[in-house]
Every structure is written in C-alpha cells, then in structure tokens.
Amino acid sequence: MTLKEALNSGKFVITVEICPPKGTEVEPILSDAEVLLGKVDAINVTDNQRAMMRLSGLAFCRLLLEKGFDPIFQLTCRDRNSLALQSDILGAYVLGIRNILALSGDYPSKGDHKSARPVFDLDSVQLVETIKKLEKGENLAGEKINGHPKFTVGAVVNPGAVPIEPQIIKLKKKVEAGAEFIQTQVIYDVEIFKKFLHQLNMPKLKILAGIFPLKSFKMAQFMNEKVPGVSVPESILKRMEFAQNPEEEGVKIAKEIIEEVKPLCAGIHIMALNDVNLVLKLI
C-alpha cells in the first residue's frame, strides 16, 4: 500500500524520519531501516536536516525505494533556486519517487556550514505551487514540459508556535496550493495540539502528529527551552528527571501521547534520530 492509499483508506498512518549518512556509507542505515518494512507506511528522508551536510536525500530515497519502501522526499528551499528545485522534482519522479514534503529549511547559520549562503528563491507555499504547476505540464517560466509528474504532496506546521495565527494562515495557503497531508513539529503537550486543531478547523485535513521519544531529562530540557514552538509539560519533565530508566520512560510517555492524539488526527510521524529499535518499541 502506498502512502496515498494509506491516507485515503482511513487507517492510522505511521511515517518515520530517517537521516542519510554524513558520507557514502549507506549500508548501516539501510540495513537498520529494513526491519521497518511492512510496519510503517512511508519513510521521510531528510534534506540536510538542521542545515547539516549529508548524503543527497534524493539518492537515499531511491535506495529505500529499491528496498520496497514508499519514501517521502523532503525538499527544502534553502539550498536550491527555482531552477534546481524544478529539476529535482522532475528527477524524483523519474526515479520512481511519488511523495514530496515541501519545506523552507533551517538557516545555514544553525548548521555545520555557517558560511553557506541560503537561497530561499521560493518559500514552502510557492514550492507546493511549483510541484502542482509541473503536474499540469508547465514549468515556472510558463513553458510546456514533455511529460509531467504526479506526487502526493505534504507540508509541515508547528502547532505550538506562539503566536499560532501565522502558522494557521500559512498552513491554509499550503493546503489551497495543493498540500494533501501535513506533518507537525514534535508534540508533548496534547492540550496545545487540541487547541491548534480547534483554531484550524479543518477536520478533513490529513494531519500526522510529530512524535519524538525522549531519552533523557537533559533532552527534555533542551526540547522545552531551545526548540521553537515545542513545550514539554512540567509533569513530563519531572517524570524524565526522576525516572530510573529515562529512555524507557520516554517511550512510555510517547505511547501515552500517541493514544491521546489517535482520535484527533490521521496518524503519526515518528522522529527518532535513526534509532529504529526505538521506533519498533512504539509501533
């Protein structure tokens, strides 16, 4: 079953994020990922996540496709102008990739190549529009193209952002442009997520709630204090601080969050820093 079929079937969808290696040694990550085959609906492949240089996400998507997965190609506006974005969109389709997650991308100043120049020729809304224009057989210059792609297009949102109104406005623009599913920033406070959904008021939108299992109290503090839009409730902070086995407690907390969000959304998106054993514990 493809991601599109899973989203349309009404089942609770599970996607997982995987980062390509910082180099050419792909086998360890591919080998780990194989245990997820048949257990998840799709695997996101990051695109120089947090502005850190890694192997091409496009190439890694193809390798996952060959293993039998339905990959989601994360495509950021940070590193490419409109020409390169269109080329990679068409290239993804020719390589058999059928899902794209449109992102703006983190600024290079946050990554390992701080002198790299950001592009941002397009923003994430315009990237969704670009994909849809190519699907209609026309490029951004208004020229017809020979053959055209067809993708399941996704976008992202941060339900805990303050203020939340700009996030909702931009999300609705992405949906109007053609985004078919939404993956969220990490959620620890389900009440904030509920409030976001109420304000959004788009009950039919396929939203996958972001799940990031905590491994330590220090990680919980970092997520709460350093990651914009992420709020870790005091009750969870205390549980992580006094847990005898913090990693197991983090898994237990993540399971509880999943049970709470399950009636509210179309599925979950698990981010576990390539720790497939942690993913297996959740699913």
pLDDT at 33 exceeding the cut of 90: yes
Return d(Cα 58, Cα 36) in angstroms, integer. Answer: 20
pLDDT-derived band at 197 (thresholds 50, 70, 90) equals very high
**Per residue in 143-162, pLDDT tens?**
999 999 999 999 999 999 99
Compute the average pLDDT of residues 156-180: 98
Q: How many domains does the chain have?
A: 1
Return d(Cα 111, Cα 46) in angstroms, integer. Answer: 14
> Is 247 part of any domain?
no
pLDDT of 111 reads 84
pLDDT of 106 reads 87
Is 129 in contact with 177 (CB distance < 8 Å)?
A: yes
pTM, to two decimals: 0.96
pLDDT of 152 reads 98
Is 125 in contact with 170 (CB distance < 8 Å)?
A: yes
Mean pLDDT of the chain: 97
Q: Can you give the CATH number for the domain in which 24 is found?
A: 3.20.20.220
Q: Hey, how many other C-beta atoms are within 10 angstroms of the C-beta on 234?
A: 8
> Is 189 part of any domain?
yes
**Per residue in 92-121, pLDDT tens?**
999 999 999 999 998 888 888 998 999 999
pLDDT-derived band at 190 (thresholds 50, 70, 90) equals very high
> Is 228 part of any domain?
no
**Per residue in 37-48, pLDDT tens?**
999 999 999 999
pLDDT of 107 reads 84
- Tell me the residue range of the domain where 46 lies: 3-214+254-282
> Is 221 part of any domain?
no
Is 211 in contact with 254 (CB distance < 8 Å)?
A: yes
pLDDT of 110 reads 85
Dump the DSSP string for 179-226: --EEEEEE-S-HHHHHHHHHHH--TTSEEEEEE-----HHHHHHHHHH
Compute the average pLDDT of residues 123-128: 98
pLDDT of 112 reads 87
Please provide the distance, in angstroms rounded to a whole number, between the alpha carbons at the two ends of the chain: 17
* Between 49 and 139, residue with greater pLDDT: 139
> Is 208 part of any domain?
yes
Return d(Cα 127, Cα 112) in angstroms, integer. Answer: 25
pLDDT at 50 exceeding the cut of 90: no
> Is 230 part of any domain?
no
pLDDT at 137 exceeding the cut of 90: yes
pLDDT of 108 reads 87
> Is 237 part of any domain?
no
Give backbone dihedrals phi and psi of 64, rounded to 5 degrees, phi first.
-65, -40
Nearest alpha-carbon partner for 130 in 141, 146, 118: 141
> Is 152 part of any domain?
yes
pLDDT of 109 reads 86
